[in-house]
Amino acid sequence: MYAVSDSKIGRHRTTNLFTTRSNTWHSQQRTLITPLFKLSHLLDYESLIDSTISSFCAHLDSKFLSPPNENKICDMSNWLFYFAWDVLAELTLSRPMGFMDSGSDKAGFLSTSEKALDYFAVVSQMPWLDEVLVKNPIVRIGPPAFDFAANFCIRECIARKSRNEEKVREGNDMLDDFLKIKVEEKGSMGESDLLGFLLLNIIAGSDTTATLLRAIVYYVLKNPRVHRKLQRELDDAGLNDPVSYAAASKLPYLDAVIREAWRIHPSVGMILERVVPAGGLQLKDGIFLPPGTKVGMSAWVVHRDKNVFGQDAASFRPERWLRDGEESEEGWRERVTNMKRCDLTFGAGKRVCIGKDMALLETYKVVATLFWKYNVSKVPSLRERYKLI
């Protein structure tokens, strides 16, 4: 099993996919759906993730490990991307989008999403450009639309509702739960809101999760010491196939590897802006920010703060999350708590990423499975191959 050494991990981008709504609307809608994104509820869907991981492994076995394909190289960056999109569709609609089955960018959708997300990354920092481009009343100039994903969601939603006109199914997937909320909270969720939630689930979650998965594999394979240590922990853990979240989340070195990967390579690199409220904000250094000031911090900068993460903050070292042999329990807990407090991978505050638990549920399970079941290695670069280092 091989993974390409210099493959794409994922570029830094924001994932603001829809027109900004009022804080009141956001709070109302978030209150409706937040319980669905809690880990305790998401664990009810774990079998859907298991089936997608089983499909992922079956495709790797047949396409790269079984005759006559046993010597083929797997571009893991692509396959982790296919997995991330298919698993979100499975969780949301009980049906993958078909990227792993095709083993390719089906209908060119992934390249389309790349272009669209690049656009959103720019306009999130310069909103006035959106008025000139996409909202141009004469000629729309903007990114390609997410038609493939939108049509996929619409077809599944119509089919589900037609099969369940009298009674909404009891939470077999997230669409079932969205429809249940729509029925029980009459008037709180319209048809456009429902479609928006389905699209946001799949589009916003897939790209960022794929970036995290790529980063983990990339940095583990780039650091043989880390790879060996992770492999030993997984081999000694007595895991079952499929690897459960309960088992994977209790492995300290796996946890440290995942945390370190998202610290060193956060999926969102641009600032997630906030607006200073009435009364302004007084900073500790004496600077006063008046009401209405737009503020934000880049995770890529904060996560390399040597005062928080140590003098080697620019290095990939999972051990920073573990207790040093000479460190007191209290000192370790205080240090890790401070690092977690400065972790902006999923944002912070009231608008912290609602899909955080979903991303972690998928990530812990598939990473544990990948490095437990397979002897993953990177393809030597030309420098390494011809000893030009």
HEC string of 233-263?
A: HHHCCCCCCCCCHHHHCCCHHHHHHHHHHHH
Element (H, E) at 212: helix 191-222
> Mean pLDDT: which of 53-57, 147-151, 165-169 is highest?
53-57
Q: Taking residues 199-227, what's their average pLDDT?
A: 92
**Residue 280 pLDDT greater than 80, yes or no:** yes
- Measured CA to CA, the distance from residue 164 to residue 159 in angstroms comes to 9
**Residue 2 pLDDT greater than 50, yes or no:** no
What is the model's pLDDT at position 17?
A: 40
What is the model's pLDDT at position 22?
A: 60
**pTM of this structure:** 0.87
Answer with the residue of higher pLDDT: 219 or 7. Answer: 219
8 A C-beta contact, residue 364 and residue 259: no
What is the model's pLDDT at position 8?
A: 40
- Measured CA to CA, the distance from residue 120 to residue 118 in angstroms comes to 6
66 class by beta-carbon count within 10 Å (0-12 exposed, 13-18 middle, 19+ buried): exposed
What is the model's pLDDT at position 368?
A: 98
Which range (37-51, 77-91, 164-178, 190-204) has the least confidence?
A: 164-178
Band (pLDDT 50/70/90 cuts) for residue 271 is confident
Which range (83-97, 120-134, 161-175) has the least confidence?
A: 161-175
Tokens matching residue 126: 């310069």
What is the model's pLDDT at position 164?
A: 59
Element (H, E) at 203: helix 191-222
Parallel, antiparallel, or unpaired for β 2-3 and 377-378?
Answer: parallel
Band (pLDDT 50/70/90 cuts) for residue 381 is low
**What pLDDT, in 10s, does the model give residues 325-340?**
889 999 999 999 999 9
> Mean pLDDT: which of 163-167, 194-198, 308-312, 377-381 is highest?
308-312
Could you tell me what percent of the chain has a pLDDT over 70? Answer: 89
**Residue 76 pLDDT greater than 80, yes or no:** yes
Looking at residue 152, its amino acid is: F
- Measured CA to CA, the distance from residue 384 to residue 272 in angstroms comes to 39
Kindly report the average pLDDT of the chain as a whole number. Answer: 86
What is the model's pLDDT at position 25?
A: 65
CA 215, 219, 221, 225 torsion-angle sign: negative
Domain spans, the chain? 2-263+356-385
Q: Taking residues 344-354, what's their average pLDDT?
A: 87
Which range (21-30, 36-45, 47-56, 241-250) has the least confidence?
A: 21-30
Q: How far is CA 139 from CA 118, 120, 213, 226, in A?
A: 20, 19, 38, 52
Domain 2-263+356-385: give its CATH architecture: Orthogonal Bundle (1.10)
- Measured CA to CA, the distance from residue 206 to residue 194 in angstroms comes to 18
CA dihedral 106, 111, 115, 117 (to 10 degrees): 70
Answer with the residue of higher pLDDT: 210 or 117. Answer: 210
User: What residues contact residue 118 under an 8 Å CB cut-off, 6+ apart?
Assistant: 11, 13, 143
Could you tell me what percent of the chain has a pLDDT over 90? Answer: 54
What is the model's pLDDT at position 12?
A: 42
8 A C-beta contact, residue 234 and residue 254: yes
Q: Taking residues 175-194, what's their average pLDDT?
A: 84
